[in-house]
């Protein structure tokens, strides 16, 4: 389903990632647990159903924000230390860990 998306950024790099490629993002304290107790997961409003399916329980309205998704995506794209790990792109800026979860994994 997302073969084209996946190919584009894998070929041309994470600078070509768009909000449409992102399922959800995470912003939290670096070195701490990523379940959400030390940070926050935010879902792309385009993919609430997909996010709900993937994690197995409903994504709430308070967990959805295109603005936050876009902000975290831009932080990761602008970072020289961003690392791709499967369907995740992660970076640490200061004491904060940012993760972008891509849709290409589904
Ligand atoms: Zn936790």
**How far, in Å, from the CA of 39 to the mean position of ligand 1?**
8
**How far, in Å, from the CA of 14 to the mean position of ligand 1?**
27
Kindly provide the b/e burial profile for residues 33-66, where b requires at least 16 CB atoms within 10 angstroms of the residue's own CB.
eeeeeebebbbbebbbebbeebeeeebeeebbbe
DSSP state of 58: P
pLDDT digits (tens, 9 = 90+) for 9-30: 777 888 899 999 999 999 999 9
Answer yes or no: are the C-beta atoms of 36 and 63 closer than 8 Å. no
**How far, in Å, from the CA of 9 to the mean position of ligand 1?**
30
**How far, in Å, from the CA of 36 to the mean position of ligand 1?**
5
Most distant pair of Cα atoms in the chain: their distance: 36
**How far, in Å, from the CA of 93 to the mean position of ligand 1?**
20
pLDDT digits (tens, 9 = 90+) for 18-67: 999 999 999 999 999 988 889 999 999 999 999 999 999 999 999 999 99
Single pTM value for the model: 0.87
Short-list 92, 30, 84, CA closest to 101: 84
**How far, in Å, from the CA of 32 to the mean position of ligand 1?**
7
Answer yes or no: are the C-beta atoms of 16 and 8 closer than 8 Å. yes
């Amino acid at each position: 389903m997302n073969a084209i998306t996946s190919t584009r950024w894998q070929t041309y790099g994470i600078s070509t990632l768009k909000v449409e490629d992102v399922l959800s993002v995470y912003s939290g304290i670096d070195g701490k647990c990523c379940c959400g107790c030390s940070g926050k997961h935010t879902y792309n409003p385009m993919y609430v159903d997909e996010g709900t399916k993937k994690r197995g329980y409903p994504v709430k309205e308070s967990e959805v924000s295109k603005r936050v998704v876009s902000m975290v995506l831009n932080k990761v794209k602008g970072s020289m230390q961003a690392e791709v790990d499967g369907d995740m792109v992660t970076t640490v800026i200061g004491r904060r860990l940012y993760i972008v979860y891509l849709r290409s994994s589904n």
